[in-house]
Amino acid sequence: MGNTYTKAQAKASKKYVSNFSKLTILVTPELKETIVNHCKDNNVSMTAFVIDAIESKLKEQATQ
């Protein structure tokens, strides 16, 4: 097996990504470093961390 990216893999990736929307945020370099370090220390991706933070905040505000 080589490192060849097949047409089937490309099609599957495109289908998977089509289920998501991109969200771009701007943060200070210091905040980014804090987030990166937190994610590394807790073995979690930045995407998972940000999604969890947003969902937690939405849930918190919905119960107020």
pLDDT tens, residue by residue, 27-56: 999 999 999 999 999 999 999 999 999 999
Q: Which domain holds residue 33?
A: 21-62
E strands of 6-45, at which residues?
A: none
Indicate whether 45 belongs to any domain: yes
**Cα gap 6→31, rounded to integer Å:** 38
User: Cα separation of 42 and 26, whole Å?
Assistant: 23
Q: Indicate if the pLDDT at residue 62 is higher than 80.
A: yes
2 within domain boundaries: no
The CATH number covering residue 28 comes to: 1.10.1220
Is 3 a domain residue? no
| Confidence at 3, pLDDT banded by 50, 70, 90 | confident
| pTM of the predicted structure, to 2 decimals | 0.73
Across all residues in the chain, what is the average pLDDT? 94
d(CA 50, CA 54): 6
pLDDT for residue 2? 67
Domain contains 1 = no
Q: Label residue 1 by pLDDT band (50, 70, 90).
A: low
> Domain tally for the chain?
1
